[in-house]
Structure 1
Amino acid sequence: MNYVAGFFLKWTAALCLLCWSLPALAGAELQRPTTAGPIEGTLLADGAIQAWLGVPYAKPPVGALRWRAPQTPEAWTTPLKTQAMAPVSLQMKGKTPVGSEDCLYLNVFRPNDQSANLPVLFFLHGGNNQTGSAAFFDGALIAEKTRSVVVTVNHRLNALGWLNIKVVKTGDPVEDSGNFGLLDIRKALAWVHDNAAFFGGDKTNISVCGFSSGARNALCMVISPLFKNSFHKLITFSGGMTTSTPEDGARIATKALAQLVLEDKKAATEREAIDWLNSATPEVAAYLRNLPAERFAPLMANANIRMGVFPHLFTDGATLPADGFAAVERGQYNKVPMLFTSGADEFTVKANADPYFADTRASLDDPRKEKEYAFATKYGSMLFGYINAERNAMLFSAVKGQPPVFASRFLWGANPLVVGEKAGKLIGGTHGMDICILLEQERPAFKVSDEIFSADNKPGRQAMARLLQGYLGNFMRTGDPNGVGLPRWDPWSNAAGHSGLLFIDADKTTATARMGARIVREQDVFRQMREDDGLSPERKEFIVKHILNGRFFSNNLDMLWR
């Protein structure tokens, strides 16, 4: 963009912002300026919400921009219609690639009125950084219930978003990190800073929020020097502090890419294919950049929350500290108020997805499999929940100068009197149930029986949704979830005897939230596993090695728990 055009666009945007603060003209309230050009949105939620969907925040990362840092989009002057979400980032759906490599778009939601200086929620979706999209999060609902501006983001996934190998490096330390998905998130957040005011948002009050891998990305934003002072609160749904080394990333990704090399007969053996990729010649670079994007989506797609299968969030020393979350202990991170949530039965849906328990999903009649399933889900959930709540809270709260930290555990889903016996055993307070209730959704993945989301328990679910939405809105505004009509939520303390977590549950009609001292500690879990006499030592060894080991919450568990 030349100087004159750039000046004109910025002047026009400033003038439009001034005009927007005046009463809106009929039909004009859905057009907004942005730093790249004007956009035209739509109304959602029966007219209660203004939305701008599929807004480009960077150039399409295709062709020469594959495995490059995201670039500022070309400016436009004619209003761009942003009334439908963009395609999902390229990923696997079952055994089929879906979506597009052209994926760097975000969505904006706000109440349909003239209010300004609203808190901003910047949401990152889950899916192990391999699947998922911004469409998961109902931004219209949350904008309405919390009176905020909600921004949901698509970014690059799988090997297109996370690749740390020699041949794609350019000499720029940030770009050479391989953390292209994280760089996309930085670009989207910069867009929010530049444009939030046009949508009535307060860029000095941004809450970064994520679910699952989105929560892990958000936690990495806390320690990344690229995000210093760029957001003001952190909210995570079931996310822990996990990173990978560049060395693991290069080794595992190169082995995966070697399969493509073999398919295309560029080498005769896997060893030759790996050596050819590691040679990083112009021929190798051209080969990888010219491959159809769909061929990258299946690589490492069987990770199922195993970082060892699909390494990402590389501790490269430029985008993330070389020693990862040890930066927290040094106090070198973005100190903001934090709110962490986790489920009481985090591991059930992951155990259900494991082929070994296929028979258990269909029936609980096999006594041996049922005992093994109970062992895996009990201790897997304790460890997964600990990683997502207690460990986060303990580590950050120990740092001098850290603002208040709040942590909770979501119990709903386990009570057979509320959800039925089958759902209580196979689902419980599983990974994602809390955000499912927050968004007032009945997720198909959880429907193992007709009783889990029933007309009888809907009043209780609705009461929990109001509770969670109230806590979320208060925290976004002030950094404290507490407010009128809500049960007291005390901040975390590492002091002995502190009650610790807020436990959230409901019966069929009424929601409850209470502080409790039932804290999970990793070493206590290992001790209980050793002492558990429900399985023989041999079967415990099998479940630990083949079902629990190598997950985000249990790296090298087979050595640690003994």
Structure 2
Amino acid sequence: MPLAPASADTVRPGKDPTLVPTTLGPIVGRDEGRSSGTYSWLGVPYAEPPVAELRWRPPKPHRPWADVRRAKQYGSGCTQPGRFFSPSPNGPFYDLTVRDGLQQPVGEEDCLTLNVFRPSTSKRNLPVVFFVHGGSNVVGYSADPMYDGRELARRAQAVVVTVNYRVGVFGWLSAEGLGGGDPLSASGNFGTLDLVSALRFVDQNARRFGGDSDNISVMGQSAGAVNVWSLLVSPLARGMVDKAIPLSGGLSTRTVASARAYADRVMQAARTEYPSSGKSDIELLRSLPADDLVRVLVKHKLDGTPAVIADGAVIPSDPYAVLESGVDREVPVLAGNTREEGKLFGSTIGAHKPSDYDRFTTQYLFDPDNPGTLTASDLLKDEYLPVDKPGGWNDAAAALTEAVFTGINRDSLNALARSGNHSLYHYRFDWNQEPAPFDQVYGAVHAIDLPFVFRTFGNNVFSYAYSRQNQAGRLRLSDLMIASVRNFIHEGSPQHRGLGRTWDQWPASLVLDADDKHIHLGSTTDR
């Protein structure tokens, strides 16, 4: 049923407060109940499905609808090769069957949706948090239970948005002849363009959900943080990013030449598997079912897509020069890293003893309150043990942390500092209170700060860490971190009374930690 126009800056009153007239059409969401204290709208499409001729095209705005559209279930994750942070083969959720999708095609190509969460009040002009999931720009999905936005929305008094965007070869492919004269198509940055399109939808509709379109904080983790930095420098997102929260990632791009070389290898692999198609390379790639293309990439070890591409149109050819130019000097930035980021990536150096399938199974079934007899030697190869010996697991992981994460974070923040930005803050997350042996195997590992930011300590990839013994300290640290996020998105500074100390600006970092019962804060300097 068509709706009469509504004021753009109100949450529409009436029998169902989740009925919202967006710019594309009316949607009805979920009242999550008194215990949650939130409303949610799930699986809201912001662009047409990027399938058939729209594969490797800039996102096309979704066709408007007149009847009320139900927004009560998450949309599918985007097509990807299954990894630890991928959706289940059975849909956009996390369970033990995620392991059955490892290195198999999961997700759907029709995936350009977003989710909105807000407190179940009539408050208006709430700050907006636009969250971009991580996953090496190859995997990930907005329905990951770590990114459930309800608690963050309620506790931070904000409108929280989580978004799907094309990943892997579907999100970043710069192939000769792909653009057809259109610089956006030729850029290869389709995942970035998806995020720009989703951000534009949020900017246009924030007030309809009770949010403030002039106060949008773009937050992302890992590759999501890389994408946050990309939006900061992209001319297409100019004016839509008011604050930035990049966690465990810095400004990192690939050259057009490296992206083209990758595309050539993709086309060669497809031609090897389908030698008699009678089609041009581009026609062949467009004609392949998405799952078949993923299988080709996995078989030929090409599922690590170069992204983001410094193409000169979507992303400047010299993005660091843009950071230093001062165009973002008025954008407050709250960045973060975990102390042992590299411990998530033991597979890259062959440190893990079990297969990914067995390791996922062990971690999923592990009971943190009854840890049993599992030891570090069950999970790590002997040459990395004991973990604290010279050249052991701690040293190897520290090298990965610096090479992959800490360095580009430092470079990015320093570039902004040189631009004259005086609102730069950073934290280092040190919490490592997991039950043995995970305190040594993973510790303050990459992404483990996210459940603290979202307060999502339910069933997710880090469930092995959440014991009754560490609950009190864990929840207190989560409360403190959310309070800092809340103050940052409202005021532009993470400083709040509960810290009991000053959060100095970059290059100082606030060290966040807790034992089983109490919070421990410190400071360090990183230049």
TM range (shorter): 0.7 to 0.9
The match for 2:450 is 435
Equivalent residues of 2:40, 2:115 under 8 A apart: yes
- 359-368 vs 39-48, which moves further: 359-368
The match for 2:109 is 101
**How many residues are treated as equivalent by the alignment?**
479
Work out the CA distance in 1 between the residues paired with 2:254 and 2:241: 24
Equivalent residues of 2:352, 2:379 under 8 A apart: no
* Structure with more of its chain in helix, by fraction: 1
Q: How far 1:176 moved relative to its partner?
A: 1.3
The match for 2:441 is 426
Give 1 or 2 for the bigger CA radius of gyration: 1
Residues 364 and 247 (structure 1), Cα distance of their counterparts in 2 relative to 1, 3 Å cut: closer
Letter in 2 for 1:325: Y
Structure 1 position 410 matched with structure 2 position 405: no
Work out the CA distance in 2 between the residues paired with 1:302 and 1:459: 46
RMSD (Å) for aligned C-alpha atoms = 2.7
- 162-171 vs 432-441, which moves further: 432-441
Q: How far 1:444 moved relative to its partner?
A: 5.2
Q: How far 1:513 moved relative to its partner?
A: 2.2
* 1:12-411 → structure 2 map (5 Å cutoff): 12-13=4-5, 15=6, 17=8, 20=11, 24-26=13-15, 28-44=16-32, 46=35, 48-93=37-82, 94-136=102-144, 137-266=147-276, 283-298=280-295, 309-333=304-328, 335-352=330-347, 354-358=349-353, 362=378, 366=382, 370=386, 371-387=391-407, 389-400=409-420, 402-411=421-430
- DSSP 3-state at the match of 1:166: coil
The match for 2:496 is 483
- DSSP 3-state at the match of 1:461: helix
Work out the CA distance in 2 between the residues paired with 1:44 and 1:126: 26
Work out the CA distance in 2 between the residues paired with 1:454 and 1:20: 39
Q: Say which of 455, 462, 469 aligns to 1:456.
A: 469
The match for 2:369 is none
Letter in 2 for 1:366: D
Equivalent residues of 1:167, 1:284 under 8 A apart: no
Query: Once the two structures are superposed, what CA deviation does each residue of 1:175-218 show, in whole Å capped at 9, x if it has no partner?
Result: 21000000000100110111111100000000000011011000
Residues 391 and 122 (structure 1), Cα distance of their counterparts in 2 relative to 1, 3 Å cut: same
Work out the CA distance in 1 between the residues paired with 2:300 and 2:339: 23
- TM-score, length of structure 2 as denominator length: 0.85
Work out the CA distance in 1 between the residues paired with 2:36 and 2:398: 45
Letter in 2 for 1:155: Y
Work out the CA distance in 2 between the residues paired with 1:389 and 1:303: 31
- DSSP 3-state at the match of 2:319: coil
- DSSP 3-state at the match of 1:59: coil
Work out the CA distance in 2 between the residues paired with 1:244 and 1:18: 40
Letter in 2 for 1:38: P
- DSSP 3-state at the match of 2:307: coil
Higher RCO by CA contacts (8 Å cutoff, separation 6 or greater): 2
Equivalent residues of 2:21, 2:27 under 8 A apart: yes
Equivalent residues of 1:344, 1:385 under 8 A apart: no
Work out the CA distance in 1 between the residues paired with 2:460 and 2:8: 42
Instruction: Give structure 1 stretches of 5+ with no counterpart.
Output: 1-8, 268-275, 277-281, 495-499, 522-562
Equivalent residues of 1:345, 1:382 under 8 A apart: no
Work out the CA distance in 2 between the residues paired with 1:303 and 1:205: 44
Letter in 1 for 2:284: Y
Q: How far 1:149 moved relative to its partner?
A: 0.4
Q: How far 1:374 moved relative to its partner?
A: 3.3
Work out the CA distance in 2 between the residues paired with 1:302 and 1:485: 52
Work out the CA distance in 1 between the residues paired with 2:11 and 2:384: 66
- DSSP 3-state at the match of 2:443: coil
The match for 2:480 is 467
Work out the CA distance in 2 between the residues paired with 1:287 and 1:364: 42
**Percent identity (aligned):** 31
Work out the CA distance in 2 between the residues paired with 1:248 and 1:53: 37
Work out the CA distance in 2 between the residues paired with 1:64 and 1:464: 48
Equivalent residues of 1:427, 1:446 under 8 A apart: no
- 185-194 vs 41-50, which moves further: 41-50
Letter in 2 for 1:179: N
Q: Which segments of structure 1 move beyond 6 Å, counting only runs of 4 or more?
A: none
- 250-259 vs 419-428, which moves further: 419-428
Residues 172 and 236 (structure 1), Cα distance of their counterparts in 2 relative to 1, 3 Å cut: same
Equivalent residues of 2:285, 2:293 under 8 A apart: no
* 1:470-549 → structure 2 map (5 Å cutoff): 470-493=483-506, 500-517=508-525, 519=526
The match for 2:89 is none
- DSSP 3-state at the match of 1:514: strand
- TM-score, length of structure 1 as denominator length: 0.79
Work out the CA distance in 1 between the residues paired with 2:225 and 2:9: 36
Q: How far 1:231 moved relative to its partner?
A: 1.3
